[in-house]
Chains A and B, each alone.
Chain A
């Protein structure tokens, strides 16, 4: 679905000719239907990388292909943006209309979709995120989690094949975070949507199929959540962490209680704990 080949990106420094390398030789292949969590400390390049995935940023070296389409080809811009949609951190900055259904219709209207089809897409998108009941509400009166789900619906109405979430849960309360996570997992499972989730919550990343870790603009880890999160010390060096239950099993192991590797959820933990204690 998304392929990068030797991708480089630079930012121009203010008031000088120096260029800062933000992305250094990144080659990734993200197949259709995969749920990828993208981790990295502040300034590691993950948002920059995500912005090359739908041609907001164009590579300065190497290539990015979205479903085979080269993002550096200006003529393909609309086609690429239709395929890969992005949801940002602050829900208040990305809702444009005064009524939920109009907000969701905004994208397809811009793409010149027929009005009958728009109607259908708005309804489908709201159903997919579980917000059908709020169709004529004012977006600014919704909770944070609801606003983000409306933002996701706005992307869905453009019928993308890939959805990119850039810290879309950072400003939400615990139930809002769960709403968004449940929604994207459902889209991934039921519609086989490719999901790229940028997050600082390790518990969220543990729910993905694959975890990619960036540091100083390079991919430094790439694997299944259990393969990545078993490297507790390495992740701490990278200014990251692991899910708390993973850390708990890691500490227990150091204390001589080995529950086995790959514990990522409370349920995993309890199953192993019960087995050890014989309950």
Chain B
């Protein structure tokens, strides 16, 4: 079980005056159950690339193979692929439209013919998964706060019980607590249901915290892949691409430059504090 991107190229406005190669011959494989973090400057092609994974965009060249099935083959049932590969767009709350939160979450399910008690269970499960109080289900989505709306939109996709969940900047514009809560919901979903997560984000700290593998896009090309430890080692290269490394990476790089032995796989504030305490303890002896 995997998603395989094969020599995928996407050109917007091909042969027109504004022709733009957004994705340029990218090949990569997302294995089943991985938590992938995708980073890249604005315009690097991340959003364009992920919109191919459930066939929202059609490639100019190349293809995507989902569990051995070429999703762009004319005999492939894209509806079925989309049921398994769910996508949460940027600012998904702008897509809420129903009278109640409940109906909004139900919309996708109903479209796939899932109704009645079966839908009801899935809707409640999804709401629970994203920490949405059941009392909110009968409210209008437009009465909710920004963070709650975001969770409703997320629940609508989760209710479909996808095997792969693609999220484009799910925490953008949320306050720090809202950000943590949404990302923790996604992490729990990944852990409890074993789904594959592909998360697009500009926060290097979040990437280091949640992703097991990073994919770095630059000017339409796949520039780096590897564990956070492997990717964040390339500080200079990431800066040149308009990206960054987690804050704690910068602190530890400076401590390393003072001649101390510091592990490369530490990105978390607590762990950094631990490492620094040990250094101080050794030095004071």
Contacts and interface: CB of A to CB of B under 8 A. Distances in A.
Q: Decide if A and B are genuine partners.
A: yes
A257 B277 contact: yes
Contacts of B145: 42-43
A41 B251 contact: no
A248 B248 contact: yes
Contacts of B2: none
B236 interface: no
B280 A257 contact: yes
Contacts of A278: 283
B42 A42 contact: no
B174 A42 contact: yes
A172 B201 CA distance: 10
Contact of B258 (A14, A89, A274): A274
Given A241-B176, A248-B251, A175 B146 contact: no
Contacts, number: 115
Interface residues on A, range: 35 or more
Contact of A43 (B146, B254, B280): B146
Contact of B178 (A42, A143, A175, A236): A42
A196 B283 CA distance: 44
A244 B247 contact: yes
Interface string B26-52: 000000000000001111000000000
B142 A14 contact: yes
A200 B244 CA distance: 18
A252 B273 contact: yes
B280 A277 contact: yes
Given A200-B176, A257-B276, A266 B242 contact: no
Contact of B205 (A175, A200, A244): A244
B177 A41 contact: yes
B235 interface: no
A241 B181 CA distance: 13
B108 interface: no
A252 B251 CA distance: 14
Contacts of A203: 247
A219 B202 CA distance: 30
B129 interface: no
B100 to A, nearest CB: 13
Contact of A174 (B146, B172, B177, B243): B243
B175 interface: yes
A85 interface: no
A220 interface: no
A172 B42 contact: yes
A255 B178 contact: no
A143 to B, nearest CB: 5
A239 B273 contact: no
Interface in A220-279: 236, 239-241, 243-245, 247-248, 251-252, 255, 257, 266, 269-270, 273-274, 276-279
Interface of A: 13-14, 40-43, 89, 141, 143-145, 167, 170-176, 200, 202-203, 236, 239-241, 243-245, 247-248, 251-252, 255, 257, 266, 269-270, 273-274, 276-279
Q: List the 3 closest A-B pairs by CB distance, nearest first.
A: A239-B177, A175-B242, A174-B244
